[in-house]
Structure formats: C-alpha cells, structure tokens
Chain A
Amino acid sequence: MTTNRGRKREISLLVNGERRTVRAYPMERLLDVLREQLLLTGTKEGCGEGECGACSVLLDGALVDSCLIPVAQAEGAQLLTIEGLGSDPRFDALGEAFLECGGAQCGICTPGMIVAAVHLLDRSSTPTIEDIREGLSGNLCRCTGYQQILEAVAEAARRTAAR
C-alpha cells in the first residue's frame, strides 16, 4: 500500500507487450502518461470526460477511456494502444475497410474507433449491426455521420470471418 502527496512515484506497466516504467503522480491521467511520457500519440484526447472515446485503449483486455484512469490504477496492467494493434490481423481488415467505406475523415476519432472495433470483434466475430452500434456507442465522430464507420466495421468482420 502506498500514499504520496505531491510526489511522483515509479509505476510499471506492460505497454503493447513491453515493460515500461514511468515516474508520475498517481493521479496523472493514463492518457497523459501515454502521450507525453511514452510518446504514444495515437491515443487522442477529445472531451477529457469519458463521453467521446477518442482516448480508448484496452486495459487488461477491457475497453476503457484512458482520460478517466489515474495512472496508479494501471500499475501492473497490460495495456494495448492503437500502436500495439498493428500485429493484430483484424487491424489490417479494419484499416482497409475504413479506407474503402470512408470511415475516416478528419481522423481524430479513428484510433478510438478502431480500438473499440477490435474489442467488439474480440467478443463477437460476426456482430450484427446492432452489436456494432452498441460496441461503438461510446465513440463520437463529428465528420462521417457514423454510417460509413458502421459499414466499415461490418465489412471488416465479414473479411476476418472469411479469412
């Protein structure tokens, strides 16, 4: 057990398969540690209050908003960010489908959308459109109107199931 007022401490976690140790205040947001200390800037900041999903990451396999996680609560955890999903076969299928369907426009929401989509496909390889809507319901996009994103995830699911 640890208590520290105004003191940084060492916090270790497994980031994209690699053990990383940072010095941070326990209440620093995981999002800031990822972007500013680990220079993993694929994870975006949108609203900063858990509404928009731009900062989505997988924490011990669970989809979370990294803006709402004090870094101390990620101690010892396994973290996957958009940068760590490159080796996942679904990542390529999603990337291709987002391009083809017009699922990415300005791009700010895209990493979070892909992380949420990977999380969804982990749980259901043949999701219905309702499953996709629910799986991405915490991710906001101000460009596409969503339809292209939903189609892209459906298309990626079909292709991964067929492979």
Chain B
Amino acid sequence: MRSDPSDYEFAAPATLQEAVKLLAEEPKAWLPIAGGTDVMVQFAAGTLRARKLLSIWNLPELRRIEVLPNEIRIGAGSTYTDLRGHAVVASEFSLLVRAASWTGGIANQNRGTLGGNIVNASPAADSLPALLAYEADLVLSSARGERRLPYVDFHTGYKEMQLAGDELIRAVCLPRRFAGYLPYARKVGARHAQAISKVCMAALGRAERGEIRDVRIALGSVAPVPMRLRQTERALEGGRLEADIIARARRAAVAETRPIDDIRSTARYRAAVVGNLVVEFLQMLGGFNHHG
C-alpha cells in the first residue's frame, strides 16, 4: 500500500551548506532524496520509514563535474545522463559510462544519480564495480567539514556503509591514469535496460609484451557488497596470456566469489557466468596486447 504524503516533512535547501546544517541539527532524522528513483519506489511500496526528506536534487555543488590534471571529481548528484554526456568521463572512464547506459531506461538515467547509487548500496548496483576498478575515492561532506576515503572502504556489509548521520557524499574522484588499459564491462541480466543484473563486471588491465599487468576485476551481484577479485588478480600479475593461466583464473574467480540464489538467478549460474566473463576479459586482453 502506497505511503500517505501527509506523513512526510520535506525540506528543499538551496545550497549544500544549508543541507548539511539541517543534517547536523538532527543527525539521522533526515533522509536525503535526489532524483527519487529509489526513495520514491519505497514510498510507492509503503516501506519508506524516514519521515523527513531532504531534497538534494539539483544542488549546484553536487552536480558539477570538475576535470583536474590528475583526477576527475564527479559531483555525487550527477545523473547517469550527465555522466554519459560528459566528454572526459566518456573518453577516459568508459566502464562508468557503460554502466550508466545499462541503468534503467532514459527516464531513470535522467533522475538517478551516482551518489544515490552508492548510498542505496544494492549489491547489484551497476556503477559500483566500475568505481572499484578505477579505485575511486569519495569526498564526504558535513557541517564538520570534509573527509576523503577510498570507495573500497565505504561499503562494509549489506547496506552498511561508512557514512555518518550528518554526512552526504559530495563527490566521486577518479584518477586519470587508465589511458593504456583495456576496459571491459559486461552486464548479464534478463535485458540491458531496466532489468537488474544477475552478474555485472567491470575490469581493467594492461598487457606488456604478452605479460599481464595491473589487472583489476570487480563484480556486482555476487556478494553482499561489490567486490574486487584480489586473489585472482594477484595470481594473474606478470603471467603470460596463455590458455593455462586463463583456465586457472577462471577457477580462482569462481572460488573467490560467494554468489547466492535469489529471485533473479542461482548461485550456480552466477558462478559459471563469473568464470566465463573473466575468461572473455582475459582473451580480449590477449588480443589487446597482440594488436595494441
């Protein structure tokens, strides 16, 4: 049963400063709402527990994309459409742009935000494996000031995160140093648009004279939080792109993930897909080496 709109208090501050001030006055009382693509679904289902909503949609401080020499700082309120339409994001961070293009349909992409995808913390969120592969940092803002932490440390368990009750994600920072890397992104789901992933993967790697360098393999929907396959990555480092190492990587990847059975897929299917995607990525990396 849908929620009753008369039950909700709603604040729409004009600046980030006002927003964090409200959060500081009553930590945890306010639920930030940006484009509403998650919050309004809970509202529709009658499961929205917060009674005070803080609209951060379109706050200018959160919707800027700053291009610096060494990194790009994406305001957390940037929409998927903003990401897809930004020249530097599109050319240097294709994993993120691919994920944005898979998230919902165009209407969802016009409202859904990168910061929202992070705090909603779905294990199936399509943009989060890309953040792991790029080793993104998050900038968190509160009335107490700002702090920066690696995204990999942010999600600590299912829907659990390093975000204080008075904090907002302000920006997502991606280092600009992946020009020589092969990007690989793949979503396996019922369909690309709308459907939630059964498995999604974002990977990066280099190949130097047939040797594997700095491979990063990140997956969604195979654990309570998006994860990097650290052991598989370590096993690959410096190896030659040949059939036996690819076969070993498949086994290592399957062993390293702990997928579950749920309404969208089975653990067995997901594990098989993880193995197949790792193999496909490494085969492409082999070709990348050969031709590149």
Contact = CB atoms under 8 A, between A and B. Distances in A.
B242 interface: no
Contacts of A116: 106-107
B105 interface: yes
A1 B11 contact: yes
A70 to B, nearest CB: 6
B40 A5 contact: no
A138 interface: yes
B53 A70 contact: yes
B8 A25 contact: yes
Interface in A1-44: 1-6, 24-29
Contacts of B2: 48
B60 to A, nearest CB: 15
A2 B51 CA distance: 15
B289 interface: no
Interface residues of B, number: 39
Contacts of B81: 62
Interface string A65-84: 10111101101000000000
A50 B6 contact: no
Interface string A107-141: 00000000010011000000000000011111100
- Which of B9, B11, B43, B105 has most chain A Cβ within 10 Å? B105
B13 interface: yes
- Which of A3, A27, A49, A73 has most chain B Cβ within 10 Å? A27
Contact of B9 (A1, A3, A62): A3
B11 A2 contact: yes
B35 to A, nearest CB: 8
B159 to A, nearest CB: 19
